[in-house]
Structure 1
């Protein structure tokens, strides 16, 4: 065999075996054990063993599928690059290796590879390389298909192995999706917690100094002020409590007010004029308002009044930061709990839109340049099912939509009731899915992403969660600029006899 591409070493050329020995070797393999003498004679005539040195590649992930391989001696390692990391999916051995059995892998599964893409008209879904000196039989696609037609015993062994491989890959993908979801959860939570946590840390650090200043200025003000002045100051503080920051305001006018208050405070001898000016102007108040409320404070006591007022405003601003940050942290923790459905029964009543919103919270960092449009019909009913699993569906659909848009565009989330179904649509303005590939996107291992950027199982797992676990349907339609993934879920829940099918299907 010749090199397929630079850096890819293919198996060495065929060796010349003794045909009698080869025939007996084929008979000893489980996949060929049921063949008749005539079938074995034909198979021997089309079999050409080849030797691969350690590390030589039989085929790479994404390559066009051209051969079916049978392992005679040595071993094979099956790998796949997922998100830039090469993962070992499994190993095949010609002879039993103690401690290497896992996931109830059938013994026959060790002895052949490459059948799936030949049957599905796709590319190879993993990379397979020799582990040690290895001998294989490489059957071209045409010979493999003729083998299935001529030798029914081959299919009897191959199909159960194929089913196991798909199931095992789904389990691996589900576990990987769980880990990725936890990573998304952790990254999203860390990103969202950063601002309120930083605000808490900053306010806590500054609050000690502010309280000390509040105590000192209170003492100075108490010593400088008379009863009427203290009463006037109390009325000023009460008026400030009722003042709320303006919803909208002219930034230039506010800056002018801040400068006026600061200049006046400097003129009358205040020690912290900038803090005072910032606190008063942030409430939308100006110098005239402040002077009107301090008209009963004498000239000698005015600096102490302004210093104490600055300390009051600073302390209140810091406590306001803490009050705002605390609920935000609580909201994030609640969203995380609801997203993961911790400490809840597996099947329960839940709000679909709450799950979607919690998913958006977890993916907020990835949605930074995406316009999110929510269109939820009012009064949507609650469903009975598995919300944590559906959250994985929403995560997958939203994540795919963002990828299709290159990280920026419009993401539409629509929810409504149609007949006996709750319908959720995830729409994006990305490049779209080619018409010829659209019917295959829910197939296992089928992906339109570049090699190494997807497993080809995300949409397949989402399809199974929706259709098998929730008796619903998942469909897609796409044109450039408008791709819609539509999920239909029965209002009666998973136990309901009705199934939400795709209209017209």
Structure 2
């Protein structure tokens, strides 16, 4: 019989094949016709008789190719050591988990499939034990392959988060550096011109007076909490007075004096000790000096900000460090928040870190993936607005991390299933259904800890417990 040529049914007896033929039917698909769609309730098990099926999934708005099933596999169709039997059937996983189809299967060319209804599928597993011997190893491979793909996708997503956050945060200091560097050239040229003019007219007493003016300005800190309107009025008044005294470049001088609360009276008193012909040259020299100083201050402040962001990136990714090490969980959470800062713009963050929390031993990069996933889920639940609460404390021999949000909450009938592979509460096309499962594996298997959840509308908490003593890894996450 034709079915006996398929590995799944190769060991069936004639009676079993006759029964199978009586409970199934053959269906033919034209090129581009859909066999089942992602998110639809799983109702049938399908065996590929002839042709090819392309299996895809929409992830974050993008359609991704997951695999191809073909009666004549091509090079590349055997990704992740795909068993040959895996090419010939599909749909068993959502039937066994009482869920929905996890992807969309579409015919590539004229394709024929054997359609087995759900009740008959479960009868087949009982009546035909040799089918289960072929099906179960393929099922295990599919779960593992899906987790590998999801982990790779999560890594790419995390790198995207890292790159987006870093680019966003670097934009301001980098722009400040570029702007200051661009402005500094013309200022240096003007500085040479004003210095030459000042040097040609000033006497020793006037030079000393200008040095005292510069010193006083530098020592006077900017005024805090100044009314913007009052500051603008003061700046205009100082600028007008400097112009009256003959200054041609009064704007930087007016800005610097107004920011320090030094008004036109201060300027008049300091300038009255100079000869009229020297005052204008002195004020122009002073103005350009203050402009140059302001630009160098911008460069000096931008540099440490860039260094801090690079340090946060290094802490997030733990570059150039051994994978398993002793580290601070709180530092990892803060590095994650830094990388996700653009997504947190509309969110109030409450930090409740217990003091003197000990370091733990484990895999910091993988845990940062967990924090990224849990925080991202919280932001999604709050639709980008609300309160995100982060707590750490020591409970017995375990470090406990709690991440809370004020979002819509997790439905009660879903709460017990959120860590299952492929289970998701998101709409079709959003997420992979493996984010929380992979986080669960990282916490439980890689760190010997636990990940639990409790939820009510407006009050959802993800609770992570990690042994401080560094429980040995139980396997790859």
TM value normalised by structure 1: 0.91
Work out the CA distance in 2 between the residues paired with 1:463 and 1:85.
25
SS at match of 2:63: strand
Work out the CA distance in 2 between the residues paired with 1:272 and 1:486.
61
Structure 2 counterparts to residues 466-505 of structure 1, below 5 A: 466-495=443-472
Shift of 1:96: 4.0
Work out the CA distance in 2 between the residues paired with 1:442 and 1:349.
27
Aligned twin of 2:102: 125
1:55 to 32, 38, 43: 32
Aligned twin of 1:290: 267
Aligned twin of 2:179: 202
SS at match of 2:39: coil
Q: Report if aligned partners of 1:61, 1:125 keep a CA contact under 8 Å in 2.
A: yes
RMSD, aligned α-carbons: 1.6
1:272 to 249, 253, 259: 249
Q: Report if aligned partners of 1:236, 1:294 keep a CA contact under 8 Å in 2.
A: no
Q: Please, which moves more after superposition, 206-215 or 218-227?
A: 218-227
The answer to whether structure 1 residue 388 and structure 2 residue 365 are counterparts is yes
Q: Report if aligned partners of 2:446, 2:473 keep a CA contact under 8 Å in 1.
A: no
Aligned twin of 2:396: 419
Aligned twin of 2:162: 185
Q: Report if aligned partners of 1:371, 1:410 keep a CA contact under 8 Å in 2.
A: yes
Q: Report if aligned partners of 2:445, 2:473 keep a CA contact under 8 Å in 1.
A: no
Work out the CA distance in 2 between the residues paired with 1:273 and 1:445.
67
Q: Cα deviations across residues 276-330 of structure 1 (Å, max 9, x unaligned)? A: 1111112232223333433422332111111111111100000000001111111
Work out the CA distance in 2 between the residues paired with 1:182 and 1:462.
17
Work out the CA distance in 2 between the residues paired with 1:416 and 1:218.
61
Q: Cα deviations across residues 3-59 of structure 1 (Å, max 9, x unaligned)? A: xxxxxxxxxxxxxxxxxxxxx222222222233443223112212111111111110
Evaluate the alpha carbon distance shift between residue 99 and residue 370 of structure 1 in structure 2; reply closer, same or farther with a 3 A threshold.
closer
Where does the alignment leave 5 or more consecutive residues of structure 2 unmatched? none
The answer to whether structure 1 residue 435 and structure 2 residue 412 are counterparts is yes
Shift of 1:496: 8.9
Q: Report if aligned partners of 1:31, 1:108 keep a CA contact under 8 Å in 2.
A: yes
Work out the CA distance in 1 between the residues paired with 2:140 and 2:276.
91
Aligned twin of 1:376: 353
The answer to whether structure 1 residue 166 and structure 2 residue 129 are counterparts is no
Paired residue total: 474
The answer to whether structure 1 residue 222 and structure 2 residue 230 are counterparts is no
TM value normalised by structure 2: 0.96
Q: Report if aligned partners of 1:438, 1:477 keep a CA contact under 8 Å in 2.
A: yes
Shift of 1:254: 2.0
Q: Please, which moves more after superposition, 246-255 or 152-161?
A: 246-255
Shift of 1:146: 1.5
Q: Cα deviations across residues 362-382 of structure 1 (Å, max 9, x unaligned)? A: 111111111122211111111
2:314 to 337, 340, 356: 337
